[in-house]
Structure 1
Amino acid sequence: MRKMKKLLCLCMTAALSLGSLAGCSTKNPAPSDGETVGAQNEESGGEKKDTLTVALTSEPPSLTTCDHDSIVGVYMNLLTYNGLMRVDHETLEVVPDLAESYTVENETEWTFVLKDGIKFHDGSDCTAQDVAASIEWAKTFPGSANYTRNIKTIEAVDDKTVKIVTEVPYAGLPADLAYHYNFIVPEELIESGHDFNSEPVGTGPYKFVSWQYGDSLNFVGFEEYFDAERKASIPNLVFKIIPEGTSRTIALEAGEVDFVYDVPSADVERLKSDEKFEVKEITSVENFFLGINLEKEPFNDVNVRQAINYGINREDVIAAALNGYGASNYTAIAMGYEGDTDAGAAVYDLDKAKEYLDKWGGDPSSIVLPIICSNETKVAVATVIQSNLSKLGIQVEVVSTDTATYFADWEAGNYTGLISSWSPSNSLTYVQRYHSDRALTYPGSLKDEEVDKMVRDAESTIDDTERIGKIKTIVETVNGLAPQISLYQPLMFRAYSADLGGVTASATGYVGFNDMYWK
């Protein structure tokens, strides 16, 4: 068995400090004289290539900004929309996007100035009025409350200036404005009741063309994109939906796709050995976990949750589901964030798990834990959990379902357990999930007054060092409550044609497709 690769130490900041920030981006190299953007090199036949075809495991539940929280949906949103702020893929810092700059007038008042020349895909100008209308619109969606509730008022001072007042001092505002719920759309289309799922209209580097459900999505580069440094160099972008891992690899080798977003670990070494391809390995802050519905008995008892926590061997999970490419995680947030700590965290210990079951006092065989899974990797994870927990007498049912059903059950609270993951850009955003007002939004959320107070205190702490200390205390407290059972952080692999340049991949899982170009 391949030895598990250790998670590299990540050096990142919460990126929530105040004041103006400058973004870091990679400029696509301009073609030399006589060269056409998208042309392949002579060794590959000299053909012009104007399309990038990407293999994805599943399709998005929606193309809108405000009615999903799917990572695949966010991929699409990043193509077609922008926010006032964005997360830099390489540094994970929150940097200005539509905003040219921002200033903090006092602890609750923020002023954002828009860049010049921002156009929507329908040809209209993007103004401060559109920004204000978009965020007010986002507030009407229940799922967006986590990222808009701290915004008391938003006002268009003039066409280029936006003033936001928060309810209390709130360090998380820049990160919230970089989240897809707060992406900007035309005010006129909001008022007309436009369907942004069938026709996304934003300011992003790509424009939506078509969606063949179950098969593919098509986009075209937006010629009037406001950010010359990040304008799409490849005119056409196609996403092919290929759920089965080996089929994605075969499609790449056959030239049917150019980029595989999620490479099966079993295929990594083969692709690395082929000079026609590049394989990018990314140390991930994406934390995969067993989310448990705390509204259901006996999982509302911390002793049952801790028994499960101590009863799962993460090394078994990584070996079986990831072919060894990952690192165990037992803590309440992803390792690598400032503020993470293993204080109070569980480790694999069957004797300890049995002690917690004894404290609970019930019959372990009465515990039935159905775990819903939306892809083959999650099924493999749940199958290991099933084997591990059977040693405690706990019954686990592995339930495989399609992506749409998975998210529908999640949103309706129609689950007992599910395998999920999350990879926000910073530790504050992560611990906010443990506030009780998010209990209906995220699996593994809490309803605990002490934790609520601690989260609100961290949110309102503007000083970076002081805030990180408070986040660490939150993590230690939540480790002892085990509302979610953290499992692992994978090493992520992206495989692509060696003729493709400008590939950047974030530790949070996102890829900058608009930064790519054909050599």
Structure 2
Amino acid sequence: MTTETKRISRRKFFRLAGMSAAPAAGAEAAAAPAAAAQPTEIVIAQYADLVSLDPQHTNDNASYGPEKLMFEGLIGFNEKMEMEAMLAERWEASDDATTFTFYLRKGIKFHDGAPFNAEAVKYNFDRVTNPDNKLIRYGLYRIIEKTEVIDEYTVKFTTSEPFGAMLATFAHPAGGIVSPLAAKLGEEALEFGKAPVGTGPYKFVEWVPGDHLTVEKFADYWNPEQAGKVDRFIIKPVPEAGTRISMLQAGDAQFINQVPYPQVELVKGSSDASIVENESVYTYWVAMNTQKEPFTDKRVRQALNYAIDKQAIIDSVLAGYGQVIDSPLAPRVWGYKSTRTYEYDPEKAKALLAEAGVSGFKTTLWASDATDAKQVSVAIQGQLADIGVEVEIMNMEAATLNAERFKPPEENQSMLNFAGWSPSTGDADWGLRPLLSKESIPPVSFNLAFWDNPEFDEQIKTALGTADEAVRLEAYAKAQEIVMEEAPWIFLWRTTVLGGISNKVGDMWIQPDGIGYYRKGYYK
């Protein structure tokens, strides 16, 4: 079959399993203007410094954005979080979702000259699945029981149990393939993150923590259509949003990540810069502790959903850059199904409380101490007061909040918990299972509602037990319907991610999961 030369949707990606797929977005990349003859560089000012440059030891978006300039996985995501073939040209998944075979591209070398082949892939996944290496992303890939080299350019993974979301997990940026020649095992594993080597269009030059990261164009990049369009990128940590915007307006930065909603007009008012928007996969909600009264009663939980005017908060706090959610998943997550919303209806909320025998009560709301979280908390407090619910707000700094959130049920004092989540695999599994399955109740994971619903858990198990796309979609649809009806959360909104870009450059974005996507950047 002839190769594809355009982006492929998530649905088509899975249909193409076992079929040929050429580099995504080749047509658009070829259409982008070539780099200017003189040396060119793009400066990016981002909200935080990098923590690591080892994809297998990274857990923050501020690091993953720059890493994507240097690393590629077997498969990956484009700027819209659509799956695309990368270092693998085709793949096969067994019907029972326990074996996954990848057929690799030939003729690729790492930046240090080491060959990319099946042995390199095996090295990477043996490295991340070895608990002795203490790599952060061990938990993401520990389900891989065995990685086998079939021949020089064929590798097969066997999982310890059926895992239908495995392909999406390979597309996660933690699946970036590092050079075996450069990386070290054991106690030295963490050192690789300071001088990384990958296969991407840009290679590492230097990282001065707190000041800058420099990468430069890799002259021998394997895919000419997707090769770097500028000579170098310089990424600078600039935590203060006003400073980032000033740098953009002055021409000291060509892209800024991120632009806070209240400051969007500052960028829009500039003749030299613009806003780039991307529909986010972040959803926000208030988890209700379903193991504590009165939230054991579904009618009370539904009442609180009807009591919140989500659109009013979106307009006031998010400057309109949000959408009321009709599912626990955002629309760009694979497996999303539009299910239902709880319209603003305080009278209906009062009626449900009366039906449940609850006439006003006191509770607490936990949230971070970030400015927007404080504003949302106050808005929710005021709206719940209108139906007779008195809310005490407890804003905490991140470390304290996480420590309290992850206490086991018998110790946990949480009642209402304002939180958000971005499923970084782009798959319904990672937008549902860590948040709502019984196995994810703290301290294990992020089921802040302490929700235990066997019917929901059965649908998640069904979806993970097969590689059949239709079966998985049906199970996830049922799971979303259960969640929206049982209402373990107050369902709020999904957001829009915003970056600022100089009008002199193009094709740089912030992905729906909040990770910077810079590798296609060019000067016009």
Question: Where does residue 486 of structure 1 map in the other structure?
Answer: 491
User: Equivalent of 1:158, from 130, 143, 151?
Assistant: 151
User: Equivalent of 1:467, from 462, 467, 472?
Assistant: 472
Query: What is the TM-score of this pair, normalised by structure 2?
Result: 0.80
Instruction: Report the CA distance shift for 1:478/1:211 in structure 2 as closer, same or farther (over 3 A).
Output: farther
Question: Where does residue 24 of structure 1 map in the other structure?
Answer: 24
Secondary structure at the aligned position of 2:276 is classed as strand
Using the TM superposition, give the Cα deviation of residue 136 of structure 1 relative to its aligned residue in structure 2, in angstroms: 3.2
Question: Where does residue 4 of structure 2 map in the other structure?
Answer: none
CA distance in structure 1 between the partners assigned to 2:279 and 2:511 by the alignment: 9
Kindly indicate whether residue 166 of structure 2 is the aligned counterpart of residue 173 of structure 1. Answer: yes
Question: Where does residue 433 of structure 2 map in the other structure?
Answer: 432
* CA distances 1:252-291 after superposition (whole Å, capped 9, x unpaired): 1122221122223344455345442233333333323335
Structure 2 unmatched runs, 5+: 1-8
Instruction: Report the CA distance shift for 1:106/1:492 in structure 2 as closer, same or farther (over 3 A).
Output: closer
CA contact (8 A) 2:310 2:344 kept: yes
CA distance in structure 1 between the partners assigned to 2:332 and 2:33 by the alignment: 38
Letter of the 1:20 partner, please give it: M
Letter of the 1:490 partner, please give it: T
Instruction: Report the CA distance shift for 1:349/1:190 in structure 2 as closer, same or farther (over 3 A).
Output: farther
Secondary structure at the aligned position of 2:233 is classed as strand
| Worse-superposed segment, 75-84 or 468-477 | 75-84
Using the TM superposition, give the Cα deviation of residue 218 of structure 1 relative to its aligned residue in structure 2, in angstroms: 3.7
CA contact (8 A) 2:92 2:101 kept: yes
* CA distances 1:434-459 after superposition (whole Å, capped 9, x unpaired): 33334433354744332222111112
User: Equivalent of 2:185, from 181, 190, 195?
Assistant: 190
Question: Where does residue 45 of structure 1 map in the other structure?
Answer: none
Question: Where does residue 3 of structure 2 map in the other structure?
Answer: none
CA distance in structure 2 between the partners assigned to 1:381 and 1:221 by the alignment: 43
Question: Where does residue 207 of structure 2 map in the other structure?
Answer: 210
Secondary structure at the aligned position of 2:235 is classed as strand
Secondary structure at the aligned position of 2:146 is classed as strand
CA distance in structure 2 between the partners assigned to 1:350 and 1:113 by the alignment: 57
* CA distances 1:226-249 after superposition (whole Å, capped 9, x unpaired): 333333222332333333433332
Question: Where does residue 375 of structure 2 map in the other structure?
Answer: 380
Instruction: Report the CA distance shift for 1:383/1:20 in structure 2 as closer, same or farther (over 3 A).
Output: farther
Secondary structure at the aligned position of 1:442 is classed as coil
Using the TM superposition, give the Cα deviation of residue 477 of structure 1 relative to its aligned residue in structure 2, in angstroms: 0.5
The number of residue pairs the alignment matches comes to 493
Instruction: Report the CA distance shift for 1:293/1:223 in structure 2 as closer, same or farther (over 3 A).
Output: farther
CA distance in structure 1 between the partners assigned to 2:290 and 2:135 by the alignment: 20
Secondary structure at the aligned position of 2:281 is classed as coil
Query: What is the TM-score of this pair, normalised by structure 1?
Result: 0.81
CA contact (8 A) 1:379 1:398 kept: no
CA distance in structure 1 between the partners assigned to 2:119 and 2:179 by the alignment: 9
CA distance in structure 1 between the partners assigned to 2:356 and 2:219 by the alignment: 62
Secondary structure at the aligned position of 2:185 is classed as helix
* CA distances 1:41-92 after superposition (whole Å, capped 9, x unpaired): xxxxxxx4632122222334544434554333432332333221112324x4
| Worse-superposed segment, 252-261 or 364-373 | 364-373
Instruction: Report the CA distance shift for 1:346/1:371 in structure 2 as closer, same or farther (over 3 A).
Output: same
Identical residues among aligned pairs (%) = 25
Secondary structure at the aligned position of 2:486 is classed as coil
Instruction: Report the CA distance shift for 1:442/1:466 in structure 2 as closer, same or farther (over 3 A).
Output: same
CA contact (8 A) 2:255 2:499 kept: yes
User: Equivalent of 2:62, from 72, 75, 81?
Assistant: 72
Using the TM superposition, give the Cα deviation of residue 474 of structure 1 relative to its aligned residue in structure 2, in angstroms: 0.6
Question: Where does residue 6 of structure 2 map in the other structure?
Answer: none
| Worse-superposed segment, 351-360 or 247-256 | 351-360
CA distance in structure 1 between the partners assigned to 2:229 and 2:348 by the alignment: 56
User: Equivalent of 2:75, from 72, 81, 85?
Assistant: 85
CA contact (8 A) 1:55 1:257 kept: yes
CA distance in structure 2 between the partners assigned to 1:503 and 1:260 by the alignment: 10
Question: Where does residue 389 of structure 1 map in the other structure?
Answer: 384
Kindly indicate whether residue 49 of structure 2 is the aligned counterpart of residue 51 of structure 1. Answer: no
CA contact (8 A) 2:51 2:60 kept: yes
Letter of the 2:24 partner, please give it: C
CA contact (8 A) 2:367 2:373 kept: no
Secondary structure at the aligned position of 2:519 is classed as helix
Letter of the 2:150 partner, please give it: V
CA contact (8 A) 1:61 1:68 kept: yes
CA contact (8 A) 2:203 2:218 kept: yes
Q: How does 1:440-519 map to 2 (within 5 A)?
A: 440-444=444-448, 446-504=451-509, 506-519=511-524
Secondary structure at the aligned position of 2:91 is classed as strand
CA distance in structure 2 between the partners assigned to 1:365 and 1:245 by the alignment: 40
Letter of the 1:512 partner, please give it: Y
**Structural RMSD (CA):** 3.6
Letter of the 1:163 partner, please give it: K
CA contact (8 A) 2:423 2:430 kept: no
Q: How does 1:41-440 map to 2 (within 5 A)?
A: 48=38, 50-90=40-80, 92-104=81-93, 107=96, 108-139=98-129, 140=131, 144=137, 147-148=140-141, 150-167=143-160, 170-187=163-180, 189-191=184-186, 193-195=188-190, 196-208=192-204, 209-213=206-210, 216-269=212-265, 271-272=267-268, 274-290=270-286, 305-337=301-333, 339-343=335-339, 345-354=341-350, 365-373=361-369, 375-391=370-386, 392-397=388-393, 399=395, 401=397, 416=414, 417-424=417-424, 425-433=426-434, 434-439=436-441, 440=444
